[in-house]
Amino acid sequence: MRSPFSGRLMRPTQLLEIPTPALLVDVAALDRNIARMAAFFASGPCRLRPHFKAHKTPEIARRQLAAGSCVGVTCATVGEAEVAAALCDDLLIANEIVSPDKCARVGALAREVAVTVAVDSAAGIEALASAARAAGVSIGVLVDVNVGQGRCGVEAGAAALALAKQAASAAGLTLRGVMGYEGHLQPLRDRAERETKTREAIRGLVETARSIRAAGIPCEVVSSGGTGTYDISGRVEGVTEIQAGSYALMDADYGSVGVPFEQAFTVLGTIVSRPSAERCVADCGHKSMTKDHGHPSVKGVEGAHVTALNDEHAVIAVPASCTLSIGDRIQLVPSHTDPTVNLHDVFYAVEGERVVDVWPIAARGYPEHRQ
């Protein structure tokens, strides 16, 4: 990966020296978020398997693992797992992997670390089993159960049990358990509604695990949860691990859900235009942050809000009394962590106005395509 400092004389040491747009992480806030989540899982039978896809950054994963309460790391792609393998020896790819080339890479990875992959079809089971046999390894699998999101996953109960039996009998695979992601419930703002619906959703997952065990098949792992439901799913009897990821950095969308974590990352921009008293424009558009969950919020400028994100520009409405001038810096809180991080090569780790480190986002994009 090309260094972000190629051709420059020195690394930035202050916010004003960072070329914009840029991704910032407030190290103190990040560490507080990590410590808060680790403390929650320090007691009780359920543990944390933090999701690497939220930040794709080895340094952040190291901090999560060092904080304790973790059973491993969750990844979304094979490429992420290949990067995370240098950090942890127990990886879950919480996604269906079916193409021969990717299955072969999972087989190669399983020679070095324990790898578990989600499955929801006979075809997926056979693809992974074939790759495992070719590599001479055992690949763990979790039966992916649809708990209401309507994305991947077989239905709870009989369909999941039938698939579990297929996985358990497939040479090269080890059935480890089940997983289900209640992603459709993460953003519910009303806590009581979120809790009621989450418990209903997870009940089918836990009951499916019981039915698998009743059939004489081992089912040690029941994996679920996210940042919006970690303290609900994580206290449901029978759930063994939670795949939360966004809690470390947070974003404007999760910030309005009511979970007890701080917004620890922002996109830094420069004001490039002040065409009127009520409007300014910064150089951080949707090439530097996504708007799939809404516009970003403006940090530290009372009464300011983003009205439009264009390719290279953020258009910001401000009070006429606002003193922002051309050349000033501004920080925006993205609405969605994961895809925003995926647009950047590095985090600038900051403490106040000081840049203390630069952290490569080593798993951004699809690392396997890099030359």
Question: Span 94-123, mean pLDDT?
Answer: 98
Look up the CATH number of domain 15-24+260-369: 2.40.37.20
Q: What are the φ/ψ torsions at residue 279 (nearest 5 degrees)? A: -145, 135
Structural domain boundaries in the chain: 15-24+260-369, 72-239
Whether residue 370 has pLDDT greater than 90: no
pTM of the model: 0.95
pLDDT tens digits for range 21-77? 999 999 999 999 999 999 999 988 999 999 999 999 999 999 999 999 999 999 999
pLDDT tens digits for range 259-293? 999 999 999 999 999 999 999 999 999 999 999 99
- CA separation (Å) from 198 to 3, 39, 74, 155? 43, 22, 21, 16
Q: What does the alpha-carbon distance between residue 346 and residue 363 come to, in Å, rounded to a whole number?
A: 11
pLDDT for 356: 97
- CA separation (Å) from 272 to 61, 281, 310, 311, 333? 35, 6, 14, 14, 19
Whether residue 5 has pLDDT greater than 70: no
Note the CATH architecture for domain 72-239.
Alpha-Beta Barrel (3.20)
Question: Span 248-262, mean pLDDT?
Answer: 96
Q: What does the alpha-carbon distance between residue 314 and residue 149 come to, in Å, rounded to a whole number?
A: 32
* Contact criterion met (CB below 8 Å) for 182 and 204: no
Query: In this structure, how many other beta carbons lie within 10 angstroms of the beta carbon of residue 299?
Result: 16
Whether residue 246 has pLDDT greater than 80: yes
Q: What does the alpha-carbon distance between residue 146 and residue 362 come to, in Å, rounded to a whole number?
A: 31
